[in-house]
Chain A
C-alpha cells in the first residue's frame, strides 16, 4: 500500500498542495480529478518519486519513498505519461523492452514477458513496426505495454501503476480499452492511480476518487459516495447535472447557468518538467 500523509508543497509563495492524504491500495483503482492547475500531476510526481521537496511522508510497502533508489522504485511502480515522443526510429519491441531495464532477468525471460504483454494489449502484429509510424492511440497502447512489462513480476510484492491523463488524446473506444487494461491489472495485486479529466470515465472505472482543487482535498472516498452534485460543483466551479441511466451515473455540465469564472489566468503547474 502507498500511504501519503499531510503532503504539502509550495513553489515560491504559491501553494501547490496542502495537507493531502491518500492511500493507494493494491487491487483498487483510484482516480484523481480536479480542474487544471489543481495540483494533480504534482501530487502524482510526489508518489512516483520524481518530486522530493514536499513536506509530509509517503510510504510505499511500508518503507519511506525517499529510501528507495530509482532502480528499486522502478521495480514496484510504473508510470504511463500523457504521450511519449521517440525521436529515433525505434521498433515497438525496443520501446516495450525499456520496461525491463531495471530487472535482472535473462533475455529469454524478457522476450517471453514482452510477447505475453504484446498479446494482452493486442500488439503482437506490431512487434517490428516503427513506433514513429503508429497512430496516437497505437502509440499509447505501446506505452501501456511498456509499463505493463515493467511491473510484470512473479514476486508477491504489491505493484503500482500511475496514469497521468492517459486518455487525453484517445478516441472513445481507445479510452475504454486502455482503461480496461489498467482495470484488469488490479486483479494482479496492482494498485492504480489515474488522473482523469473525464468525470464519466472516472465514475465508470474508479473504486475511489479524490477531488482536488487548488491543492486542497475537496472530497475523497468510495466512488459512489463522493460522486455528488455539490462536490463536483465545488471542485470545478461549474454547475452540473447528474442523471442516472440504468443505475450508471452520468455527469453533464449544466449549460443553462454560467458560473462566474473567478480567475481566467489560472497558472498551470501540471507541466513543469523535472
Chain B
C-alpha cells in the first residue's frame, strides 16, 4: 500500500477522498434502511456505545438488528464488491483486454458447476442435510470448482514455462462451455425446487451473510487485496506489452501467476458464498478509468472501493424495492450500473478516451 499511496498524485487523492466518502455514506444508509428504520444518529450512537467511547441508553432491538443482521451483511457486501472490482481491474490490466472479467478464466462457471453438483447430487443422496448443505457444501464445492477450472485453464495455456494469454482466455472459454454443458444436463434432470435454488444462486444472494462466513471471507479478501494492489506498477509496464515489460525489468511470468492465482482465490471465495454477481468486475474498472485515470496505481485501489460502493448501493435497492422480499443482487447491479455505464461510454466517446 505504501508504494502506491506514494505515487498517487495530488489531484487523484481528491478522487480517493470522494470515493471513501461515498462508501462511508452508503455504509450508514445501508445500516439504517429496512423493516426497522434506524437514523444515522442512532447508528453512530450504537457504535459509540459498543466501542465504549460514549455511554448512552440505546435501543436493544436496534443493536440486535445492526450487529446480528445488517452489519455482517454489509461487510459481506463490501468485501465481495471490493474483490470483484479489484480482480476485474487486475485481469483487464493483465490481459490488456477491456472485455475481461473474473469469469473469463473459468472461475464463475467452475463455481457454478460445483454449486449445481451439490444441489443435484449431495442434496439428493443425503436429504437430511439439505439445510447444512446449502449453508456450507455449496460454498465449499463452488470454491473448489472455481479454483479447479482456473488451474485447468492455466495448465492448458502453459507453453515452455510461459502462460500464453490468448490460450488462457480460450482455455477459459472452453472451461466455461464445458461447465455450462454439464450444468445444462443437470438442469434437464432437476426438479422445480432444485432449479429455483440454482437459478437464485447464479443471480447472487447476499442474505446468507453470517459472522462465521465473514471469518473466512475477510482474511482471504484482505490478503488478495493487498497482493493485487502491489501489482499495480508491473501491470502498468505490462500494459505496453509483455516483451516491453520484460525489457523494463518486470518478472512477467511471476506477475501473471500471482495475479491469476490471487484473483482466482478471492473471486472463488466470494462467488462461493454469494453466488455469481456479474457486471461489477467488468464495469467498475472502466468507470474508474474513464472518470479518474487509467494508471493502475489508481485503478486498482479505486476499483476495489468503487466495487464495494456499487454493490452496497445495489444491495440497498435489492432490499427496499420489493420489501419484505428481496430482489436477486446480480439483477440489481446490472439494472443500476448499466445506465450509468452507458452514460459514461457516451461521454468518453466524445472525449475520445476509449
Q: Which residues of A contact B (CB under 8 A)?
A: 48-50, 69-71, 73-75, 77-79, 81, 84-90, 94-95, 97-99, 101-102, 107, 130, 133, 146, 150, 273-274
- Contact assessment for B236 and A94 in the assembled complex, using a CB-CB cutoff below 8 Å: yes
Separation of A84 and B252 alpha carbons in the complex (Å): 17
Interface string of B229-251 (1 = CB under 8 A from A): 00001101101111111111111
Closest to A85 in B: B241
Main SS of chain A's interface residues?
A: mixed
> Which of the listed residues B234, B243, B245, B352 has the most CB atoms from chain A within 10 Å of its own CB?
B243
Residues B240 and A150 in contact, CB atoms below 8 Å apart: no
**Residues in B neighbouring A79, C-beta threshold 8 A:** 243-244, 247
Interface: B49 (CB within 8 A): no
* Contact between chains at B247 and A48 (CB < 8 Å): yes
Whether B7 sits at the interface, judged by CB under 8 Å, is yes
Residues of A within 8 A of B247 (CB): 48, 74, 77-79, 150
Are the CB atoms of B352 and A74 closer together than 8 Å? no
Docked Cα-Cα span, A89 to B248, in Å, equals 20
Bound-state CA distance A130–B241 (Å) is: 17
Q: Are B246 and A89 in contact (CB under 8 A)?
A: no
Q: List 5 A-B contacts (CB under 8 A).
A: A70-B250, A88-B239, A97-B236, A98-B237, A98-B245
Q: Which of B116-136 contact A (CB under 8 A)?
A: none
Given contacts A74-B248, A101-B233, A146-B240, 5 further A-B contacts (CB under 8 A): A71-B249, A81-B241, A88-B98, A107-B6, A273-B243
B6, B248, B352, B353: the one contacting A150 at CB < 8 Å is B248
Whether the Cβ atoms of A71 and B251 lie closer than 8 Å is: yes
In the bound assembly, the distance between CA atoms of A84 and B244 in angstroms comes to: 8
Q: Which residues of chain A have C-beta atoms less than 8 A from B353's C-beta?
A: 89, 130
The CA of A69 and the CA of B162, in the complex, are separated in Å by 16
**Nearest B residue (CB) for A149:** B248
Contact with A along B156-167 (1 / 0, CB 8 A): 000000100000
In the complex, whether B41 has a CB less than 8 A from a CB of chain A is no
| Residue B97, interface by CB 8 Å | yes
Q: Kindly list chain B residues whose C-beta atoms are within 8 Å of the C-beta of A89.
A: 289, 294, 353-354
Min CB distance B287 to A, Å, is 14
Bound form: Cα–Cα A107–B6 in Å: 8
Write the nearest CB–CB distance from A25 to chain B, whole angstroms: 21
